[in-house]
């Protein structure tokens, strides 16, 4: 009788051991993060992708990179956003084409329980969505400040901005206007909103020069408009007569900066946006608490300081 009991106890213990030894943690799978940007072809977005991939390899995540063809093509982007649900990705890092029109699709994936991080361009939502990017209003102010310094506070300015629907464009524009208003001798002669390609802003800038021959300064608010306006200055032969402040670090922009077509570039930190976007996306997937907003730094770089060690690092992405 006792032997039976002892046998029963041993059986119980061995089962217990079996259960305990089987319960070791499963190996964590590689997470899939979908990075959806406005367009795939600019230096800015390529650098964002680099940052995302750096974070992906550091934190063991696979990055799916998507973007529409044109930065104003919110419909294509909305479709891309919604495919993330079917693809079953773990999180989405998004730079929204449109501050308002992207919201519906973005909220769909939030409803599907997919963590969403916005970078560079946010969305107009009440949901808690982390935004990582430039303080665009401050960046606009910085552009104004640079322009004022370059012109000694006396200029007739033409503005070449980009998509009106983009929150970034409007914030930079407002920051610029608010700051430039401090200088009574600086007047805005003309303002154009153009699409994010080279031809449209170039044509817009040339048109500004044609209609306002006395324009002494041009400001452009993103990579494409900076390129277009820069080319326009070169083409119009106004390199020495016109001050130009632009955005971002396209190689051609840098060449024009060295040549003198462009005088100051406001450099954002797209690598940090991509890197932090993925990093916090992974944190969100792992259920960690993440902040609501992270501002990445901007610097103003001109011909004289562009080769300073710390500026080189931001101006020229280190590529392998």
Residues of the shown chain interacting with another protein in the complex, contacts defined by CB under 8 A: 2, 5-6, 9, 12-13, 16-17, 20-21, 50-51, 54-55, 58, 251-252, 254-255, 258, 269, 271-272, 275-276, 297, 307, 309, 312-320
Per-residue CA distances from 320 to 50, 57, 79, 301, 317 (Å): 10, 15, 32, 24, 10
Task: Report how far Cα 264 is from the mean position of its chain's Cα atoms.
Answer: 20
Q: Is the CB of 4 or the CB of 86 nearer to another protein?
A: 4
Q: Is the CB of 288 or the CB of 309 nearer to another protein?
A: 309
H helical segments located in the chain: 2-22, 43-59, 74-87, 103-111, 136-150, 167-180, 199-211, 223-236, 251-259, 270-285, 309-315
Cβ at position 157, least distance to another protein in Å = 29
Cβ at position 255, least distance to another protein in Å = 5
Cβ at position 13, least distance to another protein in Å = 6
Cβ at position 48, least distance to another protein in Å = 11
Q: Is the CB of 153 or the CB of 317 nearer to another protein?
A: 317
Q: Is the CB of 123 or the CB of 142 nearer to another protein?
A: 142
- What does residue 219 show for φ and ψ, rounded to 5 degrees? -125, 135
Q: Is the CB of 178 or the CB of 307 nearer to another protein?
A: 307
Nearest-angstrom CA–CA distance, 302 and 283: 37
Nearest-angstrom CA–CA distance, 211 and 194: 17
Cβ at position 54, least distance to another protein in Å = 5
Residue 77 burial (C-beta neighbours within 10 Å; 0-12, 13-18, 19+) = buried
């Amino acid at each position: 009788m006792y032997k039976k009991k002892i046998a029963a106890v041993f059986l119980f213990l061995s089962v217990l051991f079996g259960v305990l030894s089987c319960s070791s943690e499963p190996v964590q799978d590689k997470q899939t993060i979908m990075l959806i940007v406005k367009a795939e072809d600019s230096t800015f977005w390529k650098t964002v992708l680099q940052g995302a991939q750096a974070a992906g390899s550091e934190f063991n995540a696979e990055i799916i990179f998507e973007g529409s063809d044109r930065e104003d093509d919110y419909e294509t982007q909305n479709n891309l956003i919604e495919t993330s649900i079917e693809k079953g990705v773990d999180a989405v890092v998004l730079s929204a084409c449109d501050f308002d029109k992207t919201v519906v699709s973005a909220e769909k994936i939030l409803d599907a329980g997919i963590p969403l991080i916005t970078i560079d361009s946010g969305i107009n939502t009440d949901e808690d969505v982390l935004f990582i990017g430039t303080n665009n209003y401050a960046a606009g102010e910085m552009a104004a400040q640079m322009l004022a310094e370059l012109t000694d506070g006396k200029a007739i300015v033409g503005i070449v901005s980009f998509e009106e629907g983009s929150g970034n464009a409007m914030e930079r524009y407002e920051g610029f206007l608010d700051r430039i208003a401090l200088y009574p001798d600086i007047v805005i002669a003309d303002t154009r909103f153009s699409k994010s390609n080279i031809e449209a802003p170039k044509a817009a800038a040339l048109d500004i020069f044609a209609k306002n021959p006395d324009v002494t300064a041009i400001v452009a608010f993103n990579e494409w408009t900076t390129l277009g306006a820069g080319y326009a200055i070169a083409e119009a032969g106004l390199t020495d007569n016109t001050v130009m402040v632009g955005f971002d670090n396209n190689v051609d922009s840098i060449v024009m900066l060295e040549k003198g077509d462009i005088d100051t570039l406001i450099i954002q930190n797209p690598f940090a946006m991509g890197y932090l976007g993925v990093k916090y996306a992974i944190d969100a997937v792992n259920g960690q608490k993440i902040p609501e907003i992270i501002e990445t730094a901007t610097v103003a770089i001109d011909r004289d300081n562009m080769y300073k060690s710390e500026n080189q690092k931001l101006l020229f992405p280190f590529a392998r």
